[in-house]
Structure 1
Amino acid sequence: MGLCSKQAHAGWIYPTTLLCIYGFFTNMRPSEPFLTPYLTGPEHNLTLEQVTNSVFPVWTYSYLAILFPVFVLTDYVRYKPVIILQGLSYIISWILLLFARGVPAMQGLEFCYGMVTATEVAYYSYIYSVVDTDHYQRVTSYCRSITLVGFTVASVLGQLLVSLARVSYFYLNVISLVSVSVAFLCSMVLPMPKQSMFFHRKETGDAPGRTSEDSTPTSNITEATCTEQQSSMTDPDPENKDIETNFCKVLWLLCKDLKECYSSSQLIYWSLWWALATAGYNQVVNYVQVLWEHVEPAQNSTIYNGGVEAVSTFLGALSSLSVGYVKVNWELSGELALAIFSAVNAGALFLMDYSTNIWMCYAGYLVFKSSYMLLITIATFQIAVNLTMERYALMFGMNTFAALALQTIMTIIVVDSRGLGLDIITQFLVYGSYFAVIAGIFFARSLYVITTLLCKRTVKNEAKVETHL
């Protein structure tokens, strides 16, 4: 028994360590906070209008086009090949960034980076196919936290090299290329999983991530739907025993499962906020460096983009961690929290938009990112609380796709030169108004929920009084 325990222990440590190393080095890119200054600097000599309206939108379009095929392919080929593809895409992206010149070349870079972000699903899904369910919580925390550590270390390193050593942005990108190359080598030696969540499942019919305790609901959010779902994915019919190789049947079951997941009204509202807010958040993060460059050109003074990104990531991690220690009835007051913090996000964006001081812009960004990280953690927990691992991946993949579709529409209308092609100040005015609309929607929703609950309590109390009389 002791030998088996040691083998199981070693069995999850090796792939988890390799995946954490991969996650650290893919995020250890000190050039990331200085991308816009690098593109508009002497190395590339692009204008802010070219970067904003012609280069950056390509990432959104390629991400949307690649996401769904990659989502299905990732499970079918069992994760590792897609992780390798991501590592290779990182290398190609930074080679283009270092040595290619001109708008078309940078558009090619953005397409490759769209491949990078679309294949992230493999990184966060791989570990569940090579470790036992007993280790899920631990390995999830390791893999997610190491990415924050890598990004924070990279941001601090980049800021120190720029501010103290006066290292050029070109050499920051050289360091990033070396880092992602190390990550690519790590991806090559990852163990190949023997199973996956949908196409290559265990023959027992039990879904990965589902234990005996999981069948007992701990929240009312998905209590009605999860009971009905158990026959759709976890207990396939006998005639579907060849589901591992039957692509069409798997897709049919995925669609059926997705329909049942969204049959809960509360899940729909949490997912709605998730998609709306994530679309806006991605737009802000994607173009915030352009705003900073507009307010305080990097070529004229020392900038602190790296330090701000490091602090914002740290504050975001703290706010996410705080969710686990706050005792709140999220079913009752969740929509109200979404509304309040969405309004805070809108205010932060308006502050960034109307301020002519770079430090006020930085402060607004810190508030915005921390608030979003807090809310996305709450939404993630509320959506995933009673879902099996398959439904967790499926629903979050669908929400990501919806967010990306909204972001694409926003990019086409607001950013793209073939649309309105708005300047960066007007863009952030639109983004602030967008979050104000989200806040209004969920204020109305929370008012409805609270009013309905009060009415039910009033009716219940009156009924008790009549019964007593």
Structure 2
Amino acid sequence: MDCWRKIQSSGWIFPTLILCIYGFFAMMRPSEPFLTPYLAGPDKNLTIEEITQTVFPVWTYSYLALLFPVFLLTDYVRYKPVIIIQGVSLIITWLLLLFAHGVSAMQLVEFAYGMVTATEVAYYAYIYSVVSIDHYQKVTSYCRSITLVATTVASLLGQLLVSLAQVSYFYLNAITLASVSVAFISSFFLPMPQKSMFFHRKSSPEVSIGPTEKDRQNVTNQANSQQDKDVMTSSDNSQNSPVSQPFKNQDQKHFLTVLVQLCKDLKECYTTKKLLYWSIWWALATAGFNQILNYVQVLWDDKAPSHSSAVYNGAVEAIATFLSSITSLTVGYVKMNWDLTGELALGIFSALDAGSLFLMHFTKDIWTCYVAYLVFKACYMLLITIATFQIAVNLSMERYALMFGFNNFVALLIQTVLTITVVDSTGLGLDVGTQFLIYGIYFATIAGIFLVRSIYSIISIKCQKNLLRNPETNEAEDQNINGYATRL
């Protein structure tokens, strides 16, 4: 009991512990690597064409539609209610997967899962509103690492149950439902934040959003005096009293002020060329990465049909997550001038991603396809970690959250265009093998853009350094130019 009281009174340990418990059980989903075999198997009996062209695209569309309003709502209601909504969405998703049948029901599953992914912003932003800035680095590490651990454990558990215990995919989904239910229950124990990054943050001299502290005090004093005058009035009269109107107007003005300030902050973020280029890569690569994650199981099923071959999706996802965590961790220990070599790294590793996707398209061997996927995911996680770090070191926490959200929103727009054009039956409706050829060309284009850009930047920097190292030559050239100008 004494230990529990110390944890609760520590200020940062208790909310971090509860959030990590939530994050672990929310990501502990052993059925996820086997979604396509489950939908194509006897439980749901969908065709690969229905899964690819009709069911899976709904996730992209719902995620896009929900992301921006959920982003604003998350900050306005101060995170915890949205985390609870995510827990409800997870339960709905797996209840439908277990007991619903038909294409329409599975489309509803994808819509519910779109709500799950759209509300992830609440999980990653919550902790910054309940702990002091001194603990940001520590709690960020805990909250992000626990999700990687949960994903790895879930994938391994799913693979072991399928391969060794011959557990059906139905029962894997039942285990997942139990896990996300625990996450939902734990979300109620999270302390309610008193502030948020945008709508409920304290004013500061650097960034002023909404009314100042003095304005709030004046409003509070006016409200208190008005309450003293109207203390004997009836409840009906108090609801219609004029004091409610100033507060309503003030809330509306505050909301509009925040939106205007967000637009200004966003504009300032993208006026920096360095941040703009990193953000362009972030949006382009994330769009392609999400497409790969969404359809790679369909490709694996095409290379080795699940009804006639052993399925090792869980093992592959576990190894991929482990490699991703190692490559992400490596970035923190590599000492490089990222201003000079960062864009070159984007170009080189994006080229590796493109090569992996081409290999996944042309190979007929499922194990080669698995290895190519491991390389692809590890390279992307390495680059997104570098991009996150480069953007974060140049921005405040508020602007980082804003830029993170907007970059993901742009990525979703691009992903939606890819889905409509390449995947959806209303567009080209290409088979999954041809889709991965298109994605390979897509990443090759990204690699080409950033390789050319990086080479140009390196040459420009070296030329500037040479000019600085030879001031006498520069001065002589300036004198010759001035003398020539005088003679003219």
Q: Fold match, TM over 0.5?
A: yes
AA aligned to 2:184 is F
Q: 1:466 to 1:335 in 2, by over 3 A?
A: closer
Q: Could you tell me which residue of structure 1 aligns to residue 57 of structure 2?
A: 57
1:271 to 264, 267, 279: 279
Q: Could you tell me which residue of structure 2 aligns to residue 405 of structure 1?
A: 413
Q: Could you tell me which residue of structure 2 aligns to residue 75 of structure 1?
A: 75
AA aligned to 2:140 is T
1:336 to 339, 344, 355: 344
Q: Is the 8 A contact 1:199 1:244 kept in 2?
A: no
Q: Report how far residue 298 of structure 1 moved.
A: 1.1
Q: Could you tell me which residue of structure 2 aligns to residue 359 of structure 1?
A: 367
TM-score (normalizing by structure 1): 0.91
AA aligned to 1:77 is V
Q: Report how far residue 456 of structure 1 moved.
A: 1.2
Q: Report how far residue 454 of structure 1 moved.
A: 1.9
Q: 1:261 to 1:237 in 2, by over 3 A?
A: farther
How far apart, CA to CA, are the structure 2 residues paired with 1:45 and 1:393? 41
Q: Could you tell me which residue of structure 2 aligns to residue 425 of structure 1?
A: 433
Q: Could you tell me which residue of structure 2 aligns to residue 25 of structure 1?
A: 25
Q: Report how far residue 462 of structure 1 moved.
A: 3.1
1:285 aligns with 2:293: yes
Give a deviation string over 1:305-362, Cα, whole Å, max 9, x none.
Answer: 0000000000000000000111110101111000000000000001111110110000
How far apart, CA to CA, are the structure 2 residues paired with 1:410 and 1:361? 22
Q: Report how far residue 102 of structure 1 moved.
A: 0.5
How far apart, CA to CA, are the structure 2 residues paired with 1:194 and 1:446? 45
How far apart, CA to CA, are the structure 2 residues paired with 1:447 and 1:236? 48
Q: Report how far residue 133 of structure 1 moved.
A: 1.1
Q: Could you tell me which residue of structure 1 aligns to residue 403 of structure 2?
A: 395
TM-score (normalizing by structure 2): 0.87
1:414 aligns with 2:422: yes
Q: Could you tell me which residue of structure 1 aligns to residue 105 of structure 2?
A: 105
Q: Could you tell me which residue of structure 2 aligns to residue 308 of structure 1?
A: 316
Q: Report how far residue 132 of structure 1 moved.
A: 1.1
Q: Is the 8 A contact 2:210 2:257 kept in 1?
A: no
1:262 to 266, 270, 291: 270
Q: Report how far residue 189 of structure 1 moved.
A: 1.7
Q: 1:466 to 1:429 in 2, by over 3 A?
A: closer
1:114 aligns with 2:114: yes
Give a deviation string over 1:75-128, Cα, whole Å, max 9, x none.
Answer: 000000000000000000000000100100000000000000000000001111
Q: Could you tell me which residue of structure 1 aligns to residue 247 of structure 2?
A: none
Q: Report how far residue 294 of structure 1 moved.
A: 0.2
Q: Is the 8 A contact 2:7 2:13 kept in 1?
A: no
How far apart, CA to CA, are the structure 1 residues paired with 2:17 and 2:112? 27
- Matches for 1:118-157 after TM superposition, within 5 Å: 118-157=118-157
How far apart, CA to CA, are the structure 1 residues paired with 2:354 and 2:457? 23
Q: Report how far residue 28 of structure 1 moved.
A: 0.4
Instruction: Report how many aligned residue pairs link the two structures.
Output: 441
How far apart, CA to CA, are the structure 2 residues paired with 1:368 and 1:234? 45
Larger Rg: 1 or 2?
2
Q: Could you tell me which residue of structure 1 aligns to residue 233 of structure 2?
A: none
Q: Is the 8 A contact 1:198 1:244 kept in 2?
A: no
Q: Could you tell me which residue of structure 2 aligns to residue 214 of structure 1?
A: none
- Matches for 1:92-241 after TM superposition, within 5 Å: 92-202=92-202, 204-205=203-204, 230-231=206-207
- Matches for 1:34-53 after TM superposition, within 5 Å: 34-53=34-53
Q: 1:100 to 1:466 in 2, by over 3 A?
A: closer
Q: 1:179 to 1:466 in 2, by over 3 A?
A: closer
Q: Is the 8 A contact 1:279 1:403 kept in 2?
A: yes
Q: Report how far residue 143 of structure 1 moved.
A: 0.4
Runs of 5+ consecutive residues of structure 1 not aligned to the other structure: 1-5, 207-229
1:249 to 257, 262, 277: 257
Q: Which moved more, 1:7-16 or 1:101-110?
A: 7-16
AA aligned to 2:152 is T
How far apart, CA to CA, are the structure 2 residues paired with 1:390 and 1:176? 34
**C-alpha RMSD of the superposition:** 2.0
How far apart, CA to CA, are the structure 2 residues paired with 1:451 and 1:198? 41
Q: 1:13 to 1:7 in 2, by over 3 A?
A: closer
Q: Is the 8 A contact 2:7 2:14 kept in 1?
A: no
Q: Is the 8 A contact 1:25 1:179 kept in 2?
A: yes
How far apart, CA to CA, are the structure 2 residues paired with 1:332 and 1:233? 36
AA aligned to 1:195 is K
Q: Is the 8 A contact 1:233 1:257 kept in 2?
A: no
Q: Is the 8 A contact 1:205 1:235 kept in 2?
A: no
Q: Is the 8 A contact 1:205 1:234 kept in 2?
A: no
Q: Is the 8 A contact 1:415 1:421 kept in 2?
A: yes
Q: 1:346 to 1:466 in 2, by over 3 A?
A: closer
1:325 to 318, 327, 333: 333
Q: Is the 8 A contact 1:55 1:107 kept in 2?
A: yes
Q: Which moved more, 1:193-202 or 1:155-164?
A: 193-202
Give a deviation string over 1:172-195, Cα, whole Å, max 9, x none.
Answer: 000000000000000112111111
Secondary structure at 1:11's aligned position in 2? coil
How far apart, CA to CA, are the structure 2 residues paired with 1:126 and 1:400? 18
How far apart, CA to CA, are the structure 1 residues paired with 2:375 and 2:140? 26
Q: Report how far residue 8 of structure 1 moved.
A: 8.6
How far apart, CA to CA, are the structure 2 residues paired with 1:341 and 1:466? 38
Q: Could you tell me which residue of structure 1 aligns to residue 307 of structure 2?
A: 299
How far apart, CA to CA, are the structure 1 residues paired with 2:285 and 2:216? 39
Q: Could you tell me which residue of structure 2 aligns to residue 460 of structure 1?
A: 468
Q: Which moved more, 1:445-454 or 1:232-241?
A: 232-241
Secondary structure at 2:470's aligned position in 1? helix
Runs of 5+ consecutive residues of structure 2 not aligned to the other structure: 1-5, 220-249, 478-488
How far apart, CA to CA, are the structure 1 residues paired with 2:381 and 2:57? 24
Give a deviation string over 1:41-60, Cα, whole Å, max 9, x none.
Answer: 00000000000000000000
AA aligned to 2:373 is Y
Q: Report how far residue 460 of structure 1 moved.
A: 2.2
